[in-house]
Chains A and B, each alone.
Chain A
Amino acid sequence: MEITLTLNGRKITRSVEADLALLDFVRNEGCYSVKRGCDTSNCGLCTVFLDDKPVLSCSVLAARADGHRVTTMEGLQKEAAEFGAFIADQGAEQCGFCNPGMIMNALALFRENTEPSEEEIKEYLAGNLCRCSGYEGQLRGIQNFIAWKKAQGKEE
């Protein structure tokens, strides 16, 4: 079937099989930041935005995205670099495989809540698994980013 969707701001039309997962669709379009980490919708590595909502692209049919907007990290490079720098400053991006999904979901969190508490951060990102870092360094990076953003806002 033919679908038309906006991927990272670009409108594209493709012919897809009905059971193609959005994850495989975006990777075929060169969005390699989106990773497959499990078969059971548990790990969060495949997080993309569907109309600005964070979803698991392994569990969305590409056909379901017809007429919608899909955003991957390839379309959020500036925000990813800005926030990612704080993760990098902790050394918390170890193997990096969980990072795109985690950073995407963190960006979604910041859009909903500019000053989340530690508990709110942990709950929002609970669906993003990491095996390398113990999550502690990621939390430091997130909290430093939030403080920096707040200070920036004050300066403006």
Chain B
Amino acid sequence: MKIVNQPLRKKDAMQLVTGQPVYTDDLAPKDCLIVKLLRSPYANAIIESINTAVATKVPDIEAIFTFEDVDQEGKRCTYAGQTYPEPSPYDRLLLDRHVRFVGDVVAIVAGRTEKAVDKALSLIKVKYNVLEAVLDFHTALDNPVLVHPEATWEALCPVGADNKRNLCASEVISDGDVDGVLTDCDVVIDRIYRVKAVQQNMMEPFCTYCTIDTYGRLHVVSSTQIVFHARRIIANALHIPKTQVRVTKPRIGGGFGAKQSCVSEMYPAFVTWKLKKPSKIVFSRHECHIAASPRHEMEIKVRLGATKEGKIRAIDVYTLSNTGAYGEHGPTTVGLSGHKSIPLYRTEAFRFGFDVVYTNLQAAGAYRGYGAPQGIFAVESAVNELAAKLKIDPITLREMNITHEGDIMPAYYGAPNTSCALDKCLAQVREMSGWNEKFPVRYMANGKVRSMGVAIAMQGSSIPYCDVGGATIKVNDDGSYTLLIGAADMGTGCDTILAQMAAEVLECEFEQIQVFGADTDASPYDSGSYASSTTYITGNAVTTCAKKIRAKICELGAKKLECAVEDVVFDGKYVRSTVNDKSISLTAIAAASQCFNNIALQETVEMDSLLSPPPFMAGVAELEIDLLTGETAVANYYASVDCGTPINPHLAKVQTEGGILQGIGMSLMENITYSSDGRVYENSLMQYKIPTRQDIGHIHVDFACSYEESGPYGAKSVGELVINTPAPAIADAVYQATGKRFFTLPITPEKIALGEENE
């Protein structure tokens, strides 16, 4: 491999480091109307009346829209970016008379200046009929107070949803006699774990601008991971035909799943559609904390049984998930809490059940890992506790029980484990971290304690029987190629790695591939950038497409050489005859394609998948803890990753480092607390603390790669996997240092110093 598996610079690297204007708010026309939202101060209320008379008179105000501008009996939709028909319930109205969480949208204001809009917002008079709110997800199921009592609520898919019970999804699956096996086990770990509704906190807030195009259609330019789904969602929300909507994306300042829902798009879309003027919305950071699409709060009960020699025999997982006021990604995230944790181990029996409930809190969404981090925190913590109980080294215990390449994984939809170097990952991380010398605890000269904890993880690579990855390649007249994709580069570098794959197949220079990003008019269909699908599924589409282009080049080249197409070969620069010494250059073929030619040098491929080959990893946390104050520093984090072939080793490494730090943030400092009336306290970067560069010592990443035959050049995925190990690894390192186990994240200095978990 000449280009794949090389650490090339991203195609947009120099533009980004020199600060070029390539993000949504940099590109918005200067005359865009400013759009802002009036938000409910109540967790559950009906708007009795809303008076915009005074607000509308503020100079420079163009329009104010309320529930009175939206058909309240109209068809609802979901804002979740998923393949149609979406598993998420259709429970949203653009402007709803019933507001369901503190921050829910009450009115849309559009004006020529920010000051005018702010003034108008303060002058809108709303009379609320405040209702009792469901604020505790433990009491949401069958609560007499219903979050979605409306008759127009709809569930398109059989996910076990029932709005009359505040139920968004429910299921139980099992294999073998879990209760019987557990009863027979020598040891059973039986615990409840809790992960809160943490925020992706990408550095670029949600933002969107809209214009009316040459054909009178709505053109939405947004910081989104899902252009095609967004088109459907916006059309549904506005009750306009999809043909009237075009969605494109520029550079995105981070997503991590937050932008796998439509959070901001529909508001300027409505304004521009109604007023036929350009408009934009830029969420404040405050809005990104109270009305975004955070991780689903989950409470996970695990029963894990083993022999006293350390053979894990059964795992029983029950997840209660809080989807908040709306059901985006509710029915789907919960599944990973079991399907991406239990299959890590060979078991005789397993059971996985779940309920997803509505509450009058911020609506959750998709966040890197998508349910796996919560489930892996639970199951891996239980495995660590088992190791301690049996006095077996936690890495050794895992080596005795993990899944291996070739296994069938009953808890992973019965899929085969087609490529797996997890055993090598464990061995590598043991070596890298100095585990044998350092585990469990060392007392340092500075009075602090250093302790070690380990965890393993898996994820998937695309959603099988569902995701579609698309690629179009065309040959330009200078012999360069344009690769059109519908997947969204949100900083991950997929534009770059897909170009690397194309260049490898086409045997050309990396610089000869230009990438055209996601545009619903011009791009081939792609589900979008989520579910760790881009490298695997879109990558397969790209390589297949590139092979087809080679065939087209040969076809036209052979025609020009007056040979049979079987008698030519293409070496990236020339089509050569194998029967004589004639050849024609790629540039000559490209020129020929533009004159008296009927062979299109363009191909489109749509790819699906029957598999979702899991990437695997092992992570070790080395903590330095001040036992008296409880302050905990991650001195080192070691990770060994099996992502299949890393298409770009530098990008895979940086993805891993970034994901690990997000996991560390979730474990030690990112907290969510509510007032008694349902307001989030951590509503700014002043209160919601993400790790700074002083909050981490060093992250060490290495790769122990398997080769996935079904993936492009042996690749699987890496994007989500990497957030999954820190929480359980850190929790066990805390236990090793303090003798105390903690079951709710984050594990704060207070918990460590006082040895108590008061949650």
Give residues in A with beta carbon < 8 Å to B. 17, 32-40, 42-43, 45, 72-74, 77, 80-81, 83-85, 87-100, 103, 122-123, 125-139
Given the complex, which residues of A lie within 8 Å of B442, measured CB to CB? none
Given the complex, which residues of A lie within 8 Å of B655, measured CB to CB? 94
Q: A135 is contacted by which of B9, B18, B205, B661 (Cβ under 8 Å)?
A: B661
Within 8 Å of chain A (Cβ to Cβ): is B491?
yes
A98–B203 contact, CB under 8 A? yes
| A-B contacts, 11 listed (Cβ < 8 Å) | A32-B26, A37-B205, A94-B492, A94-B658, A95-B202, A95-B252, A97-B23, A126-B694, A128-B693, A132-B658, A137-B654
A90–B654 contact, CB under 8 A? yes
Given known contacts A96-B251, A136-B698, A137-B657, is B693 in contact with A84 (CB within 8 Å)?
Answer: no
Given the complex, which residues of A lie within 8 Å of B493, measured CB to CB? 91, 94
Docked Cα-Cα span, A93 to B493, in Å, equals 10
> CB-CB contacts of B653-683 with A at 8 A, as 1s and 0s?
1111111111000000000000000000000
Q: B653 is contacted by which of A32, A74, A91, A127 (Cβ under 8 Å)?
A: A91
Given the complex, which residues of B lie within 8 Å of A130, measured CB to CB? 203, 693
> CB-CB contacts of B121-164 with A at 8 A, as 1s and 0s?
00000000000000000000000000000000000000000000
Docked Cα-Cα span, A83 to B224, in Å, equals 30
Given the complex, which residues of A lie within 8 Å of B696, measured CB to CB? 134-136
Docked Cα-Cα span, A68 to B81, in Å, equals 48
B654–A92 contact, CB under 8 A? yes
B660–A95 contact, CB under 8 A? no
In the A-B complex, the 10 residue pairs with the smallest Cβ-Cβ separation, listed nearest first, are A95-B491, A33-B19, A84-B17, A97-B253, A96-B16, A134-B657, A32-B21, A91-B650, A88-B13, A134-B661
Docked Cα-Cα span, A125 to B696, in Å, equals 13
Docked Cα-Cα span, A88 to B693, in Å, equals 19
Given the complex, which residues of B lie within 8 Å of A37, measured CB to CB? 203-205, 285, 685
What residue of chain B has the Cβ atom nearest to residue A86's Cβ? B17
Within 8 Å of chain A (Cβ to Cβ): is B686?
yes
Within 8 Å of chain A (Cβ to Cβ): is B651?
yes
B17–A85 contact, CB under 8 A? yes
Given the complex, which residues of A lie within 8 Å of B693, measured CB to CB? 122, 125-126, 128, 130, 135, 138-139
Within 8 Å of chain A (Cβ to Cβ): is B2?
no
Within 8 Å of chain A (Cβ to Cβ): is B690?
yes
Whole-angstrom distance from the CB of B602 to the nearest CB of chain A? Answer: 31
Docked Cα-Cα span, A95 to B205, in Å, equals 12
Whole-angstrom distance from the CB of A84 to the nearest CB of chain B? Answer: 3
Given contacts A90-B650, A91-B7, A94-B493, 15 further A-B contacts (CB under 8 A): A33-B19, A35-B253, A43-B685, A45-B203, A83-B17, A84-B14, A85-B17, A89-B9, A91-B654, A95-B254, A95-B490, A130-B693, A132-B202, A134-B659, A137-B654
B17–A95 contact, CB under 8 A? no
Docked Cα-Cα span, A77 to B199, in Å, equals 34
B16–A99 contact, CB under 8 A? yes
Q: B18 is contacted by which of A81, A92, A129, A131 (Cβ under 8 Å)?
A: A81
Docked Cα-Cα span, A11 to B19, in Å, equals 22
Q: B699 is contacted by which of A125, A128, A134 (Cβ under 8 Å)?
A: A134
Whole-angstrom distance from the CB of A1 to the nearest CB of chain B? Answer: 16
Docked Cα-Cα span, A111 to B660, in Å, equals 32
> CB-CB contacts of B200-242 with A at 8 A, as 1s and 0s?
1111110000000000000000000000000000000000000
Docked Cα-Cα span, A129 to B20, in Å, equals 19
Given the complex, which residues of A lie within 8 Å of B193, measured CB to CB? none
A73–B19 contact, CB under 8 A? yes
Given known contacts A39-B286, A85-B14, A96-B253, is B19 in contact with A32 (CB within 8 Å)?
Answer: yes
Given known contacts A90-B650, A134-B660, is B253 in contact with A95 (CB within 8 Å)?
Answer: yes
B491–A96 contact, CB under 8 A? yes
Given known contacts A91-B648, A91-B650, is B254 in contact with A97 (CB within 8 Å)?
Answer: yes
Within 8 Å of chain A (Cβ to Cβ): is B10?
yes
Given the complex, which residues of A lie within 8 Å of B662, measured CB to CB? 131
Within 8 Å of chain A (Cβ to Cβ): is B748?
no
Within 8 Å of chain A (Cβ to Cβ): is B256?
yes
Whole-angstrom distance from the CB of B125 to the nearest CB of chain A? Answer: 25
Within 8 Å of chain A (Cβ to Cβ): is B184?
no
What residue of chain A has the Cβ atom nearest to residue B656's Cβ? A134
B203–A40 contact, CB under 8 A? no
B18–A134 contact, CB under 8 A? no
Given the complex, which residues of A lie within 8 Å of B202, measured CB to CB? 95, 97, 131-132
Docked Cα-Cα span, A52 to B15, in Å, equals 24
Within 8 Å of chain A (Cβ to Cβ): is B284?
yes
What residue of chain A has the Cβ atom nearest to residue B689's Cβ? A42
Docked Cα-Cα span, A85 to B15, in Å, equals 10
Whole-angstrom distance from the CB of B295 to the nearest CB of chain A? Answer: 14
Whole-angstrom distance from the CB of A74 to the nearest CB of chain B? Answer: 7
Whole-angstrom distance from the CB of B667 to the nearest CB of chain A? Answer: 14
Given the complex, which residues of A lie within 8 Å of B15, measured CB to CB? 96
Docked Cα-Cα span, A41 to B26, in Å, equals 21
What residue of chain A has the Cβ atom nearest to residue B252's Cβ? A95
Given the complex, which residues of A lie within 8 Å of B651, measured CB to CB? 91
Docked Cα-Cα span, A122 to B690, in Å, equals 15
B14–A38 contact, CB under 8 A? no
> CB-CB contacts of B488-509 with A at 8 A, as 1s and 0s?
0011110000000000000000
Given the complex, which residues of B lie within 8 Å of A74, measured CB to CB? 19
What residue of chain A has the Cβ atom nearest to residue B285's Cβ? A38
Within 8 Å of chain A (Cβ to Cβ): is B68?
no
B284–A39 contact, CB under 8 A? yes
Within 8 Å of chain A (Cβ to Cβ): is B436?
no
Whole-angstrom distance from the CB of B294 to the nearest CB of chain A? Answer: 14
Within 8 Å of chain A (Cβ to Cβ): is B692?
yes
Docked Cα-Cα span, A84 to B26, in Å, equals 20
B204–A97 contact, CB under 8 A? yes
Given the complex, which residues of A lie within 8 Å of B19, measured CB to CB? 32-34, 72-74, 80, 99-100, 103
B685–A38 contact, CB under 8 A? yes
**Central interface residue in B7, B202, B648, by most chain A CB within 10 Å:** B202
What residue of chain B has the Cβ atom nearest to residue A79's Cβ? B18
Docked Cα-Cα span, A85 to B205, in Å, equals 26
Within 8 Å of chain A (Cβ to Cβ): is B478?
no
A131–B654 contact, CB under 8 A? no
Given the complex, which residues of B lie within 8 Å of A36, measured CB to CB? 205, 282
B658–A133 contact, CB under 8 A? yes
Given the complex, which residues of A lie within 8 Å of B684, measured CB to CB? 38-40, 42
**Central interface residue in B18, B254, B282, B658, by most chain A CB within 10 Å:** B18
Given the complex, which residues of B lie within 8 Å of A95, measured CB to CB? 202-204, 251-254, 490-491
Within 8 Å of chain A (Cβ to Cβ): is B750?
no
> CB-CB contacts of B243-258 with A at 8 A, as 1s and 0s?
0000000011110100
What residue of chain A has the Cβ atom nearest to residue B256's Cβ? A131
